[in-house]
């Protein structure tokens, strides 16, 4: 389903479905025990200017993912990661903190999805 959503939105570049797919990829990382990767992706998305989500307005999927991560990682680690993302200083091998919605981003997300599916 994530792959189909990315493929369909590659040319249209509709922001909301792409953000949902990115959050889905973070969720896959969390389910496979790659908590730091999930946290980094989630933090970058939550603090991205185009996302527009703030903690009170998070959707249920995002709240659930954040809750899962919070239950498994120390609060201090989460806070440091979120603060770095908020300042645009979080370096991630998965997602650039200043990413823009482009076909190249969609291609990178498809690569990420392939990597996670191989776990």
pLDDT band at 56 (very low <50, low <70, confident <90, very high): very low
Q: What is d(CA 69, CA 24) in angstroms, rounded to the nearest whole number?
A: 14
Angle at 2 between CA 5 and CA 31, to 5 degrees: 160
Structure tokens at 17: 């479905």
On whether the pTM is more than 0.75, the answer is: yes
Q: How far is CA 113 from CA 26, 94, 105, in A?
A: 10, 11, 12
The residue extents of the domains of the chain are 2-117
Higher-pLDDT residue of 119 and 71 is: 71
Tens digits of residue pLDDT in 58-109: 688 888 999 999 999 999 999 999 999 999 899 788 888 888 889 999 999 9
* CB 104 within 8 Å of CB 111: no
H or E segment at 89? none
Average pLDDT over residues 16-38: 92
């Amino acid at each position: 389903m994530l792959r189909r959503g990315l493929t369909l939105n590659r040319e249209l570049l509709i922001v909301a479905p792409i953000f949902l797919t990115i959050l889905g990829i973070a969720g896959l990382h969390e389910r496979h025990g790659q908590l730091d990767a999930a946290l980094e992706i989630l933090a970058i998305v939550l603090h991205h200017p185009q996302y527009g989500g703030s903690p009170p307005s998070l959707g249920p999927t995002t709240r659930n993912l954040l809750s899962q991560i919070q239950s498994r990682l120390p609060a201090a680690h989460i806070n440091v990661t979120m603060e770095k993302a908020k300042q645009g200083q979080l370096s991630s091998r998965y997602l650039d903190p200043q990413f823009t919605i482009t076909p190249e981003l969609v291609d990178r997300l498809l690569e990420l999805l392939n990597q996670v599916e191989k776990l």
